[in-house]
Amino acid sequence: MPRGPLHRAARIDYAFQDWRAARAARRGAVPMPIGFIGYGSTGWVRVLARVLMTPEGEQPPERAAQRARGWRSFLAIPVNAATVIVTINGVDHEVTADRGGVVDVVVEAELEPGWSTIQLRCPGGPRVPAPVFIVDPATRFGIVSDVDDTVMVTVLPRPFVAAWNTFVRDEHARLPVPGMAVFLERMVRDNPGAPVIYLSTGAWNVAPTLTRFIERHLYPSGPLLLTDWGPTHDRVFRSGRAHKQDNLSRLAAEFPHIRWLLVGDDGQHDVELYDSFAEANPGHVAAIAIRRLSAGQAMLAGGRTKSDHGTGPRWYSAPDGSGLLRQIEADGLDGGRST
């Protein structure tokens, strides 16, 4: 847990969310988790979920969230420090959500490689399923992909455009990046058992929307690693770059034998971030694939990131997924090793 005094903005935010939760409870709402896709190895599972206040007797919040559009997803009431019981192979594990209602914990459990389902519930509440992908210890290749302007066209960095895309625009109006679903699916097909991790600076509030977008546009399934909405214990705004750095380092530590294909775009910090990670962890990066934004998209995104890089893993750059796939196949990248 973070040490030191809480930032004033954080104290105000936590007090406001506690007030909202207490008010909802008086109206008959109860805490209920939304289960997100988790991942792990054969001896542990990283459980990802979020606890929201839900009217008692109504459908689980992940189904109610399917009706939410834009700003409505940010009206959900999180439950600070909620107790959640995680059931894996019939064994209960009691865990605690953070102050934003987010559950992000590692639980020791033995599961077979591949897809499994665990159960989540708050005390006295119904069980909610959550899928988890268990990585085979023999796996040597995986994929980490950005979301904004890599999987989904968002031109996110410009504040007003970001606000429009996040709070106003209907999810069905959002467009996938051309060819990227085929590119990622082909990499998974050519490397059976490879995990796919979607690493984004987006808030957990939009996780159901992103999950449906990934499914609808036939991207390979995989965990979303998002951030909480609002201030942290020591600052008003969260650092998206630090979030990505921390999770990349964590994946390298959790799966020391996997070399990752890092997929991003040149409109934010992906180029610099991936370059720094590859330099610090040369044995953990198989290649880096960067989607080049168009001139108009780059302008909306605030310009391009400088794409110069030194020696290290192989770099690929193209305006869409088809171009990246052609380059990688021509180069013979297979399972993280070039032939």
Given this model, what pLDDT does residue 234 score?
A: 40
Both tokens assigned to 236: 């008003």
User: Rounded to a whole number, what is the largest CA-CA distance in the chain?
Assistant: 64
Given this model, what pLDDT does residue 8 score?
A: 61
Given this model, what pLDDT does residue 333 score?
A: 78
3-state DSSP assignment of residue 102: strand
Given this model, what pLDDT does residue 67 score?
A: 45
**pLDDT by residue, tens only, the chain of 339 residues:** 444 555 565 666 667 777 787 887 788 889 999 999 999 999 999 999 999 998 876 555 544 444 444 545 567 788 989 999 999 999 999 999 987 899 999 999 999 999 999 999 999 999 999 999 999 999 999 999 999 889 988 765 445 544 544 554 556 667 899 999 999 999 999 999 999 999 998 888 888 888 999 999 999 999 999 987 654 444 444 567 889 999 999 999 999 999 999 999 987 689 999 999 999 998 999 999 999 986 454 444 444 445 445 556 899 999 999 999 999 999 887 654 443
CA–CA separation, 264 vs 270, rounded Å? 6
DSSP letters for 238-260: --HHHHHHHHHHHHHHH-TT-EE
Contact 294, 265 (CB under 8 A): no
Given this model, what pLDDT does residue 56 score?
A: 72
Contact 144, 248 (CB under 8 A): yes
Both tokens assigned to 321: 């997924």
Contact 153, 174 (CB under 8 A): yes
Given this model, what pLDDT does residue 103 score?
A: 96
Q: Which of 66, 282, 244 is nearest to 150 (CA)?
A: 244
Given this model, what pLDDT does residue 6 score?
A: 55
CA–CA separation, 74 vs 220, rounded Å? 26
Beta carbons within 10 angstroms of residue 313's beta carbon: 22
Contact 234, 4 (CB under 8 A): yes
Domains delineated in the chain:
8-134 (2.60.40), 141-338 (3.40.50.1000)
Given this model, what pLDDT does residue 309 score?
A: 53
CA–CA separation, 252 vs 284, rounded Å? 6
